[in-house]
Chains A and B, each alone.
Chain A
Amino acid sequence: MPVTDVAPLDALTDACEAVRRTAPSPGGIADLRRRAFERFAALGIPTTRLERWRFTNIAPIANTAFTLAAPADRAAARVDAAPHALTGAGARLTFINGRYVAGASDLAGLPDGVAVGSLAAALESEAAPARPAVDTHLAAEAAIDGEAFTALNTALLQDGAVVHVPANTVVEQPIQLLFVTTPPDGGAPVMTHPRVLIVAGENAQVRLVESYGGGGESPYLTNAVTEVVAGPAAVVDHYKVVRESLAGYHIAAMHLRLARAASFSSHAVTLGGAIVRNDADATLDGEGVDCTLNGLYLANGRRLIDNHTTIRHASPHCSSHELYKGILDDEARAVFNGKIVVAIDAQKTDAKQTNKALLLSEDAQINTKPELEIFADDVKCTHGATVGQLDEDALFYLRARGLAEGQARSVLIHAFASDLLNRIAVDSIRAQLDDLLLRQLPGAGGGSFEVGGDGLDEQSG
């Protein structure tokens, strides 16, 4: 697999030096990169000895010497990106191999004052419309002293997307952020470190679709960090679609700060990737915040999908809702860790978390850990987790009505997943995700699906 003799850590050090030398570094950015690298060097790549990585063995990533992906040429980029784009969205920013490709992007039709652009451009020029948002908010939410991968992303900070919606502005059409990696065939394993910064001012409203995809059969790593800052009463709808190739590794951290009465919802749909780790860390930093984190993941083969969420109720009168559903087949492994922290004065908190996993194969594995940490008394917090398989009675019911076993199973699996997709408010996005899901569901071909286990566990928690 790796064709280079360079040790994995040395490869990362070289990459960091290269970025420090060549990338524009206004203000404190150079210092930030240096501190982030020092931090990363101190933390090292996480191992399963760390509680947060206990069930997520990322040895394949740690043992690979990744080099920074080279920018792709423009014409090829457009072709590569096309299959990963969702139609029906408004503005689109396309990043190939971690670099912004203007030719494959479309920034038309945005309301006045909305700044959407590449991070590289904002770092390069003080006149860039997105520059003020970068100066104020970049790296303010995603602390470098936490996770090693966030520190690494910051150390390699170079390009990404910046979306700034000023106060009282509504962006009607979803903005699409598309990150595609095209590793060279048979070449050295490559990596990208996309950075996304979304700033919504007071009363602003915006919808975003963050998609990650990749092609080829060579391994590559996407290490993304997304920061979202929502002002008072802002409404941010976020959709994340992970369709990395079966050789692709995806590590992502999303950090949110939500001000008074802001409303944030995220739907993360993970369909691809050999190892996928999604971290979401939300701080509810004002009264009346409403935060929804939903997720759907589909894993087969020997893939590993890990979702970690943390919701910090720092203020009173906030509500949060979480629903994560997973479908696991073959020898797939999944991890779900949901944490709700209610701070000492966050009274009247209403937090609900549900995690359900459907195991379709005897060899699939799920590790679930829903955590509650509560320091206030007048709160309503619940979590529920279930692990089970398809209901025999439901299967029998469908078969009694003439469906082949495979079809019946497909119907039930699809129904399990639809529960989550139906919560997506934008019709066009929902329809396209549903389509993708249907194509990927086990037994989608009909009838060939193997039966394993009996009974179901669909009781809600």
Chain B
Amino acid sequence: MATETENIEQLTSQDYKYGFVTDVEEDKIAPGLNEDIIRLISSKKQEPEWLLEWRLKAFRFWQTMTPPEWHNVSFPPVDFQDIIYYSAPKQKPKLNSLDEVDPEIKATFDKLGIPLEEQKRMAGVAVDAVFDSVSVGTTFQAKLAELGIIFCSFSEAVRDHPELVRRYLGSVVPSSDNFYAALNSAVFSDGSFAYIPKGVRCPMELSTYFRINAAQTGQFERTLLVADEGATVSYLEGCTAPMRDENQLHAAVVELVALDDATIKYSTVQNWYPGDKDGKGGIYNFVTKRGTAFTNAKITWTQVETGSAITWKYPSCILQGDNSVGEFYSVAVTNNRQQADTGTKMLHLGRNTRSTIVSKGISAGKGQNTYRGLVRIGKKAKGARNFSQCDSLLIGDKCGAHTFPYLEVRNTSSRVEHEASTAKIDEDQIFYCRQRGLSTEDAINMIVNGFCKEVFRELPMEFAVEAQKLLGISLEGSVG
């Protein structure tokens, strides 16, 4: 908790600290989107024919779609022809070891606190680092391979494990799912792929770190995580981008497949550049995340959303198998002019499926925070159980908090509960802290951290610490 002097100084002076740009030679293609661009991306990545066909099919479908307008965020229409769909740091054709990664890029990740050199890495986390459109390095691959775990960039997976990719790609989020998922399916450049074999408990946290560097580009990564029967894996995702005046698009797709008895825990700390105080610049974060849980499987989504000018994201669970479990824990912070429309979908299909939703929204400045969720209990989901709680905290009188939960129940043996509350930080609480010598800023930090505790305790340890700090930074300057 930020109670020491240094942290206060850090808080009061801190803006977005990941806003630097790395000067590295980029291999960029021209802006614009058409079939030739997709063919170009595919050929640059030396992809097999079936994947190109898959992309083109998605693209043709995307052309028939219109951007969704039901969300509670507003932004000028995105010109999809003005985006560079592929940008990669120039490099030798093939990397044999991490030592060959461009020192500039390595330095970038060092600066972000993500050293790619394994020996320096905090024990127990394997990292796949994605720089603009490509993965620049994955650590601990050899050690994981001993257990049969595949953890690599998406491109490598396409090359080395096409059968797995082909089997599961699009099985959870079909390319026709929604506007941005279709766009991603057409132009996705890289991302992470992990496969945990039967009965294996992954010994370390798997992690992907996404970095947008080049200007005018969009990042379209694709993550596919397959936990085979009885496997267990915990996966972390982090992201940052330089400060720029223009808005950049990030449209990712994450697919999780938890086969029978498998457990997947997916944690995100999203800290894309949120734009400046007047809402200039920042990332548009339009992400589709979904997991399918088969019999007795469990999927947990934990997210801390502090960045991005606009967040549009609904990590969802399809509880297909009997007794499967879905969980969603979220903290979303909007400050200045940030807008977030986020939540989850829990689709109960199997019997005795259970889901828990805990969503904490914090709005400060002129931020607008929306929780949008769906709990659907299917007719065959006998004995299904859902508990949802979404709380909002408002700091300042210019922000807004919104909740749009949908509850659809189709049988009688299930129970669904939904609770929501909205409140501001109690002046008595601040007074109490002030009386005990805490500054107002610290008091607020403490209260907000307490508000988010239910979610933070679901995060892996290192992430929880990071998230608490991030929260303090995001809210900096909102007290007045």
Contacts and interface: CB of A to CB of B under 8 A. Distances in A.
Same complex for A and B? Answer yes
Interface of A: 51, 55, 344-345, 347, 357, 359-362, 364-389, 452-457, 459, 461
B394 A347 contact: no
A135 to B, nearest CB: 38
Contacts of A455: 413, 415
Dominant secondary structure at the B interface: strand
15 contacts: A344-B398, A367-B406, A368-B418, A370-B403, A371-B402, A371-B405, A372-B392, A375-B399, A378-B424, A379-B422, A382-B419, A383-B403, A453-B412, A457-B416, A461-B417
Contacts of A457: 415-417
B400 A359 contact: no
B407 interface: yes
Contacts of B70: 51
B411 interface: yes
B194 to A, nearest CB: 36
B314 to A, nearest CB: 16
A389 B414 CA distance: 8
Given A387-B416, A457-B416, A369 B404 contact: yes
Nearest to B417: A386
Given A364-B412, A365-B408, 14 more contacts: A368-B406, A368-B418, A372-B392, A372-B401, A373-B402, A376-B397, A377-B399, A378-B394, A378-B424, A380-B422, A380-B423, A382-B421, A383-B419, A452-B413
A380 B421 CA distance: 7
B418 A386 contact: yes
A379 B408 CA distance: 28
B412 A372 contact: no
Interface of B: 70, 379, 392, 394-424
A361 B402 CA distance: 33
B401 A374 contact: yes
Nearest to A55: B408
B265 to A, nearest CB: 27
Nearest to B376: A367
Given A370-B420, A386-B417, A377 B396 contact: yes
Contacts of B412: 359-362, 364, 389, 452-453
B32 to A, nearest CB: 34
Contacts of B413: 362, 389, 452-455
A111 B412 CA distance: 51
B407 A369 contact: yes
A378 B397 contact: yes
Contacts, number: 129
A377 B397 contact: yes
Contacts of B402: 371-374
Interface centre among A376, A382, A387, A453 (most CB of B within 10 A): A387
Contacts of A375: 399-400
A452 B402 CA distance: 36
B411 A362 contact: yes
A295 B294 CA distance: 40
Given A51-B70, A374-B394, A377-B396, A388 B416 contact: yes
Contact of A370 (B392, B405, B414): B405
Contacts of B403: 370-372, 383
A374 B403 CA distance: 9
A409 to B, nearest CB: 13
B420 A382 contact: yes
Contacts of A376: 394, 397
Contact of A379 (B394, B396, B411, B414): B394
Contacts of B401: 372, 374
A380 B123 CA distance: 45
Nearest to A366: B409
B95 to A, nearest CB: 50
Contacts of A367: 406-409
Nearest to B410: A365
Contacts of B395: 377
B141 to A, nearest CB: 47
Nearest to B72: A373
B415 A372 contact: no
A371 B406 CA distance: 9
A459 B409 contact: no
Nearest to A352: B421
B71 to A, nearest CB: 12
Contacts of A461: 417-420
A403 to B, nearest CB: 21
